[in-house]
Amino acid sequence: MAHDVSRSSGGALTSGLKSRQITMISIGGVIGAGLFVGSSAAIAEAGPGVLLSFLIAAVLVVLVMKMLAEMAIANPDTGSFSTYADRALGRWAGFSIGWLYWWFYVLAIPIEAIVAGKIIGSVLAIPSWLPAFAVVVLLAGTNLLAVRSYGEFEYWFALLKVLAIVGFLALGLAAILGLLPGSGASGLSGLWAHGGFLPNGGVSVLAGLLTAMFAFQGSEIVTIAAAESEDPKRNIRKAIGAVVWRLALFYIGSVFVVVSLVPWDAPELAAGTYQAALERMNIPGASAVMDLVVLVAVCSCLNSAIYTASRMVFSLARRGEAPRVLGTIGANGTPRAAVLASTGIGVVAVVVSYAVPGLFTYMLASSGAIALIMYLVIAATQLATRRAMRARGTESRLESRMWAFPHLTVLTMVAIAGILLTMAILPGQRLELSVSLGLAAVLVVVGIVIQRRSPAVPVEPRVSAGTGLARKGPR
């Protein structure tokens, strides 16, 4: 039977997440503070043409998630794409992408904590670092409890974010149609009145695409969380199947409202896209409302960052690619050591962000291209896995299949490589690309050394009934 690292000997993760929680986790995974605040950078780059940037990014992410769904539905695993890469490409691939992904989410902890600290600190008139640490401790505590605690917190966080977006879209549509009394903006003039749809030229769409791709990071979390639910295959299929309309509604819909009502070069966009649009609509208390929404969003992302980082390093430990203690499970069925270790490194990063901002800048740069590297690895893994299955004659067992294989898979890989090349060309992105690739190169070398010292035992590949993934053999 295909091996599930989350249910290996030495204890098992509990199946405590409910279907409604998995659904909300999948929604919350793609709604971060970047939507409410960070999308202003993409708008400044591409103007109204940012809609094309988000549309292209959405298509690419949907394709990658379809590939991941093919593998995850066949064999749910808390290590997700890291485990699949380990089996399809080699131990070095699973090791390197697993640690890169862990690092990405460990760094998300200080990023979200700093924003939360600023919002709470300004309201309470206290130093921002105090609430920043308090939020980390609180959410680490929820992750140390049974997994259902994380799921319940994330359920309500995600629900509040969804309600905020739905409310914003309703107000925005009313303003565009001229149905919102007292609104200071209406119609679609913002799409062409200030230099046209592409005021900075067609190349600007590529610059906006980089921000859009990073904004969608988090869609894959559901394949990690679903491994701790009672019906992982059904939950993965349901959650990923709805990614298309969620991306379209939440991101493209929101950005459409903003660029329609607010000139792309308006200075108030720097404070936040939603806030700028609400102020144009003359919505009272827009600033306070958005502070609350952003606070919920960053707490949600921080909560998920601790959860995701801990599960990834737990999976690595169970495969012998991280300290063994990180693969242990507490009495309540949660990987406490992995949670504490991931949170601890995140807390150190918070300290660095306040004490040595220059060093923290380089730390953040090291994670700048990880999302794109992850997407590329998922595509390469699916391509290798599917071809191996086709050669063995087990392809028919797949319950979910990537569209137009292998053509769309290869096309997606080429597109992602093109985006990485764009990062190399654009001056503002070169530092992030170079540091991220440098870190990736180091991990790949370490992974190759580990693989050579402890290679897989060559046994006949086997596929469990009803699944499509084979394990190369025990280590």
pLDDT in tens, 434-475: 999 999 999 999 999 999 987 653 332 333 333 334 444 333
pLDDT for the residue numbered 409: 98
DSSP 97-125: HHHHHHHHHHHHHHHHHHHHHHHHHHHHT
pLDDT for the residue numbered 462: 33
pLDDT for the residue numbered 130: 96
pLDDT for the residue numbered 29: 65
pLDDT in tens, 261-275: 999 999 988 888 888
Domain presence at residue 299: no
What mean pLDDT, rounded, does the chain reach?
A: 87
Predicted confidence (pLDDT) at residue 424 exceeds the cutoff of 80: yes
CB neighbour list of residue 95: distance below 8 Å, 6 or more residues apart: 86, 316, 321, 443, 446, 447, 450, 451
Average pLDDT over residues 382-394: 95
pLDDT in tens, 203-251: 889 888 888 888 788 888 888 888 888 888 888 888 777 766 777 778 8
Q: How confident is the model at residue 418 (pLDDT cuts 50, 70, 90)?
A: very high
The answer to which of 86-95, 270-279, 351-360, 453-462 has the lowest mean pLDDT is 453-462
Domain that holds residue 243: 19-109+146-183+195-288+356-390+401-450
pLDDT in tens, 20-69: 888 788 777 677 777 777 688 889 889 999 999 999 998 999 999 999 99
d(CA 457, CA 449): 16
Share of the chain above pLDDT 90, in %: 55
Average pLDDT over residues 367-396: 95
| Residue 463 or residue 165, greater confidence | 165
Domain presence at residue 364: yes
Predicted confidence (pLDDT) at residue 92 exceeds the cutoff of 80: yes
Where do we find the tokens 């949170």? 343
d(CA 279, CA 216): 26
Q: How confident is the model at residue 193 (pLDDT cuts 50, 70, 90)?
A: confident
pLDDT for the residue numbered 24: 80
pLDDT in tens, 280-297: 898 888 888 889 999 998
pLDDT for the residue numbered 5: 39
Spell out the SS3 assignment of 205-266: HHHHHHHHHHHCCCCCHHHHHHHHECCHHHHHHHHHHCHHHHHHHHHHHHHHHHHHHCCCCC
pLDDT for the residue numbered 239: 78
d(CA 246, CA 277): 21
pLDDT in tens, 327-351: 999 888 899 999 999 999 999 999 9
Residue 251, domain CATH: 1.20.1740.10
Domain presence at residue 263: yes
Q: How many domains does the chain have?
A: 1
The answer to which of 145-154, 180-189, 228-237 has the lowest mean pLDDT is 180-189
What are the tokens at 145?
Answer: 């409890």
Average pLDDT over residues 166-186: 87
Name which of 297, 288, 295, 262 is nearest 30 in CA terms: 297
Domain presence at residue 98: yes
pLDDT in tens, 122-134: 999 999 999 999 9
Domain presence at residue 242: yes
d(CA 78, CA 223): 7
Domain presence at residue 420: yes
What are the tokens at 228?
Answer: 């701790």
pLDDT for the residue numbered 458: 35
Q: How confident is the model at residue 2 (pLDDT cuts 50, 70, 90)?
A: very low
pLDDT for the residue numbered 82: 96
Average pLDDT over residues 417-430: 89
Domain presence at residue 201: yes
Neighbours of 124 (CB within 10 A): 11
Q: How confident is the model at residue 318 (pLDDT cuts 50, 70, 90)?
A: very high
